[in-house]
């Protein structure tokens, strides 16, 4: 016979078992499921830290362009009346950022050399041997200032010789302000690389006339002539990026001129030009020795 007492004891046992099951469940939730939660959390943390890293990188890139000195330079240019607003990037290159600026309601191009990513060896190589820059500077900021001045002076020289280049406006430290090449609405002209001329031979013809003026009248050799450094402004070439350009009597001028001509020939041939290297040389009428092979 089961006594009342027995039932009571059994109920007690059942309660104890239920409590144990409940505790086990909680234990399972807390100690077995929790690692899963912890893992998910870890993933979120990873994502967050990735985001953090990215934003640190963003800030780094941002501050590479607008470091303290660059900001001061831009303020100075604004105070001197050369710049009202900066609005948007045109190009982010290896060494320089080109931004669109506004002054008195018209657009200007603002080229900012980044101190941190500039190729100082290249700069030194081109600056040495140029009689206009007889400075052997090991100071990086000074070297960039020279480089920007060189680009300004090369542009000024080409512009005065009536070569199709953007008009230089002012150079200060690592910032160069120049004429904006593009539409009145502020759409920048595309490089020839990005916007193939409609009539390649006709465009090349115009370009060869500009190169002739660049060499004969401005007395300069570009040194990095390619479809990346020629803008297509309404089917007319505008030559840009003249920082590495050297004077005609620079020791490496001939070597650079030959390289430029061969490069233009190759790139325009690829775009469908019918001109041979000899055709190009005949049009340029330069007194240079060029291996035609």
Residues classed as catalytic: 224, 241
Residue 123 binding ligand ATP, by CB under 6 A: no
Question: b/e map of 115-127 (b: 16 or more CB within 10 Å)?
Answer: beebeeeebeebb
Nearer to ligand ATP, 73 or 164 (CB): 164
Contact 227, 239 (CB under 8 A): no
Alpha carbon of 107 to those of 90, 103, 136, 241: distances in Å? Answer: 12, 6, 36, 18
Q: Which stretch binds ligand ATP (CB under 6 A): 16-24, 37-45, 185-193, 247-255?
A: 185-193
Closest distance between Mg ion and the C-beta of residue 127, in Å? Answer: 18
Q: Which residues pair with 101 in a beta bridge?
A: 86, 108
What is the DSSP pairing of strand 168-172 with strand 106-113? unpaired
Residue 99 binding ligand ATP, by CB under 6 A: no
Residue 83: burial class (beta carbons within 10 Å; 0-12, 13-18, 19+)? buried
Residue 188 binding ligand ATP, by CB under 6 A: yes
Of 279, 255, 256, 259, nearest in space to 269 by CA: 279
Residue 267 binding Mg ion, by CB under 5 A: no
Of 95, 151, 210, 241, the residue at the interface with Mg ion (CB under 5 A) is: 241
Residue 93 binding ligand ATP, by CB under 6 A: yes
To which H or E segment does residue 176 belong?
Answer: strand 175-179
Partner that binds at residue 109, options ligand ATP, Mg ion, none, CB closer than 5 to 8 Å by kind: ligand ATP
Which parts of the chain fold into alpha helices (H)?
4-27, 34-65, 68-79, 120-127, 140-160, 200-216, 253-270, 277-284
Of 144, 147, 158, 166, the residue at the interface with ligand ATP (CB under 6 A) is: 166
Contact 220, 242 (CB under 8 A): yes
The rounded radius of gyration (Å) of the Cα atoms in the chain is: 33
Q: Which stretch binds Mg ion (CB under 5 A): 122-130, 132-140, 203-211, 236-244?
A: 236-244
Residue 169 binding ligand ATP, by CB under 6 A: no
Q: Which stretch binds ligand ATP (CB under 6 A): 11-19, 35-43, 179-187, 206-214?
A: 179-187
Residues 53-72 that bind ligand ATP (CB under 6 A): none
Contact 189, 182 (CB under 8 A): yes
Residue 127 binding ligand ATP, by CB under 6 A: no
Nearer to ligand ATP, 70 or 191 (CB): 191
Q: Which stretch binds ligand ATP (CB under 6 A): 53-61, 72-80, 123-131, 187-195?
A: 187-195
Nearer to Mg ion, 149 or 229 (CB): 229
Binding residues for ligand ATP, rule: CB under 6 A, are 90-91, 93-96, 98, 109, 111, 166, 178-182, 188-189, 191, 229, 240-241
């Amino acid at each position: 016979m089961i006594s009342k007492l027995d039932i009571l004891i059994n109920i007690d046992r059942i309660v104890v078992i239920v409590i144990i099951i409940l505790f086990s469940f909680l234990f399972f939730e807390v100690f077995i499921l929790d690692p899963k939660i912890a893992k998910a959390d870890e993933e979120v943390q990873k994502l967050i830290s990735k985001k953090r890293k990215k934003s640190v990188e963003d800030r780094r890139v941002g501050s590479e362009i607008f470091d303290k000195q660059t900001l001061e330079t831009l303020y100075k240019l604004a105070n001197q009346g050369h710049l009202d607003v900066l609005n948007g990037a045109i190009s982010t290159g290896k060494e320089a950022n080109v931004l669109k600026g506004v002054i008195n309601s018209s657009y200007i191009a603002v080229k900012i050399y980044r101190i941190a990513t500039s190729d100082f060896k290249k700069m030194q190589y081109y600056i040495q041997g140029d009689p206009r820059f007889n400075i052997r500077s090991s100071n990086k900021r000074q070297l960039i200032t020279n480089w920007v001045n060189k680009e300004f002076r090369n542009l000024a020289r080409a512009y005065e010789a009536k070569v199709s280049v953007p008009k230089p406006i002012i150079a200060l430290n690592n910032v160069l302000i120049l004429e904006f090449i593009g539409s009145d609405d502020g759409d920048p002209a595309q490089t020839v690389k990005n916007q193939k001329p409609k009539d390649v031979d006709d465009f090349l013809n115009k370009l060869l006339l500009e190169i002739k003026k660049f060499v004969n009248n401005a007395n300069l050799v570009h040194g990095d002539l390619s479809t990346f450094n020629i803008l297509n402004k309404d089917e007319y070439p505008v030559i840009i990026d003249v920082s590495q350009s050297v004077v005609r009597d620079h020791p490496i001028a001939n070597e650079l001129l030959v390289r430029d001509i061969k490069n233009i020939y190759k790139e325009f041939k690829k775009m469908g030009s019918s001109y041979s290297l000899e055709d190009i040389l005949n049009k340029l009428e330069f007194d240079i020795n060029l291996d035609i092979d």
